[in-house]
Structure 1
Amino acid sequence: MVRWEDYNITKKDKDFVNDILDSNGQYDTFANLHTGVSASARVGPNVLGWHRVYLVLYGRRILFEVAMRKIDNTVSLPYWDSRLDYAMSGPATTILFSTYFFGNGFGLVTTGPFANWDAGSFGKLRRNIGGDSKLFSRDDIRAVLKRCKTSEITFPTATLKTDFEYFHGGPHNWVGGQMSGLDSSSTAYGKGFASANQLNVNRRLIPS
């Protein structure tokens, strides 16, 4: 199976990922599953194990993909390697926040595949990219991969220089809007950056 970085995703896979989960109602199931777990599964030592289960519960296959591949078994979910954007002189100018990919990065999302998307009790989908945070860097990844114990990379025992959760939260806060909240980010989980960010974490930091 080929897993595409967002920059390289095929048009077929992009259109399918954008449309299929909402069209058959299964997206809400995944979002509610993520929202419904206790805070201990999303903060602290449990965070790695929980997200591994969430993404790879079904025989090392991703739940989102299992749902999609029942309809078209040739598609795959993309990941967002935000190290690429971090290295830009102006990350907020990334093409990922364009009509072709995820739509505009400031204010209400009115362009792209998620234009005017309703995030339920959290209102219309909105963003404020480039905020008071940062994306993953190569140094972040290296710092975490040098550690051998969960306690060295998770709250409350990790130092800031090796805190996986701090690094993981960076892209959430950098995108802003619903992505910056613990519960509201679940409303965007299948919609682009939340799932793509987590897939990148799963790919880089969590052993298979």
Structure 2
Amino acid sequence: MHCLTLECICPLFRGDVSGNQCILPNGKPLQRAIRKEFRTFSSEEMALFLETMRRFKKSGYYSRLGMIHRRSGVHSGPSFFPWHREFLKRLEIVYRSFHPENTAPVLGLPYWDSSLDGGLPAPEDSIMFSDYVLNIYFLNLIFFIKLLGEADDFGFVTNGLFANWTTMDGRHSFQRMFGDQEDGEFFNEGRIDYVLSQTSVDKVLTYSLPLHTCINYELDDRFLEYSHDYVHYFISGDMQERFSSSNDPIFFMHHGFVDSVWEMWRQKRQTRFQRERDYPRDDGECMPEWHFSDAFMPMLQPLRNLDALSNNYTDNMYEYAKRPSCPNGDSEECGNTKFLWCDVKTNIGHPVCLAKVKPGGNCKGFEWSTEICYNGQCLEGRCTRVLEQQNKKYSKYEKQQKQIDKVYEHWHTESFMRR
């Protein structure tokens, strides 16, 4: 599982190595995985993701891999990023091995760009967190395509794609308690821009929890690991704690995005040589030894922290599709998806893609937009379904007609009595 070439993982896919390629049983070459923002998946890709995750969970491997993070996930220091990069790579390899009949030689784990939801009045009302259902015929089966579901009053996720997924500790479902932590927030462009503007590696791979002996090291609330933390806090529930966060599958989607931001910085600020060698100084006064560059990754041996800086990850194993954006102010640019739209008004001259709001959700301040609501319209700060609007309109006219009829009846009665 420590492989960094497709030829190395070929046996897991029951493929044959021919030259420099892994040929799958269906005759197609295994390719580097493409990680896309979840909401830009086509209907067929969503169906494939649903079926693959079902098989992955049923096999028990999802929970077994989750236990690795539960027991040894490295945080609060420079090795946070390398460790999670290798962990996510291993998770993705096993996930891809459950693709039905190896139907998707390129489809990798999706990432979740929470900045698309963070710009909403109530991010928890994003269509992402709904029981949206779409029927699709795929692989000779009918699939009910779902999004990430809603939580009940106790925080248990009871509908959507991962409804009632049992947890590593045996609970019937994981929990989400949106917004109950004061420090919780989703990503935003300011936080991402801060990371991309850094020119020193120790401002990206940071001493995020420096030892008390660490002096002259300035912390910043916009450190990438902190921004990552705040998303965990906003979702809360299982995502709040390190030992339980991998119960919720949004965990790996979130970490995919964090890894993509790190890679954007690497591509922008480092040469190929620097990407594989630059690491904060092994300073025992600022961080524990397991964060040192040459330290072994807990439960991910034989790799060391420095090994996960290799260019082979994105050269051979996976690549990231670009984040949804709409520089020309056209919602089609956001990924040609029914789940995203382009906000051209909030920041004039800087249009951004945002998630649509689910029916009944908070859209206050966006009444001007005809696109913010999924299958509805923003009326008095709430997204109202089209059918509900029609019914309300009908009820309004019906009420007016009754008032007219009442006036007419009164007039008719008085006229009759005068005769």
Report the alpha carbon displacement of residue 68 of structure 1 after superposing the two structures with TM.
3.0
Tell me if structure 1 keeps the 8 A contact 2:48–2:99.
Answer: no
Write out aligned runs for 1:67-146 (5 A). 67-69=97-99, 71-74=101-104, 75-99=107-131, 100-106=146-152, 107-121=155-169, 123=171, 124-132=173-181, 133-146=184-197
Asked if 1:180 corresponds to 2:215, the answer is no
Cα shift readout 1:26-78 (whole Å, capped 9, x = no counterpart): 112211222232x6x22211101111221235xxx933444334853404311
Residue in structure 1 matched with residue 261 of structure 2 by the alignment: 204
1:96 maps to a residue whose letter is M
Residue 6 of structure 1 pairs with residue 38 of structure 2: yes
The normalised TM-score by structure 2 is 0.44
Output one character per residue of 1:160-208: Cα deviation in whole Å (capped at 9) or x when no partner: 23311110011111111101101111223xx2x1000001111222344
Structure 1 vs Structure 2 CA RMSD: 2.4
Query: What amino acid is the match of 2:88?
Result: L
User: How far 1:138 sits from its partner (Å)?
Assistant: 0.8
1:169 aligns with 2:199: no
* Greater C-alpha radius of gyration: 2
Task: Determine helix, strand or coil for the equivalent of 2:111.
Answer: coil
Shift of the alpha carbon at 1:108? 1.1
Q: Structure 1's 32 and 102: CA in aligned 2 closer, same or farther, altered over 3 A?
A: same
Aligned residues: 200
> Relative to total residues, which structure has the larger helix share, 1 or 2?
1
Structure 2: runs of 5 or more not aligned:
1-32, 132-145, 211-216, 267-313, 315-419
Is residue 2:49 matched to residue 1:49?
A: no
Give TM-score scaled by structure 1 length: 0.84
Taking the aligned partners of 1:24 and 1:14, their CA distance within structure 2 comes to 15
Per the alignment, in what secondary structure is the counterpart of residue 96 of structure 1? helix
Distance 1:65 1:118, change over 3 A: closer
Assess if the C-alpha contact under 8 Å between 2:37 and 2:113 holds in 1. Answer: yes
Where 1:159 maps in the other structure, the secondary structure is: coil
1:133-171 superposed Cα distances (whole Å, 9 cap, x missing partner): 100111111111222334223203562233111100111
Q: Distance in 1 between matches of 2:194 and 2:39?
A: 25
3-state DSSP class of the match of 2:176?
strand
**2:64 maps to which of 22, 29, 34:** 29
Between the aligned residues of both structures, percent identity stands at 25
In structure 1, give the amino acid aligned to 2:64.
Answer: T
Greater than 4 Å deviation, 4+ residue runs: none
Which deviations, in whole Å up to 9, do the C-alpha atoms of 1:72-129 show, x marking residues without a partner? 3404311101110011222121011112211104511111132222214273311112
State which of 37, 51, 55 in structure 2 corresponds to 1:16.
Answer: 51
**Matched letter for residue 194 of structure 2:** A
Residue 200 of structure 2: aligned partner: 149
Unaligned runs of 5+ in 1: none
Is the Cα contact below 8 Å between 1:102 and 1:114 reproduced in 2? yes
> Cα distance 1:95–1:200, how it changes in 2: closer, same or farther (>3 A)?
same
Distance 1:120 1:66, change over 3 A: closer
Query: Would you tell me which structure has more strand in proportion to its own residues?
Result: 2
C-alpha distance 118-56 of structure 1, shift in aligned 2 (>3 A) = closer
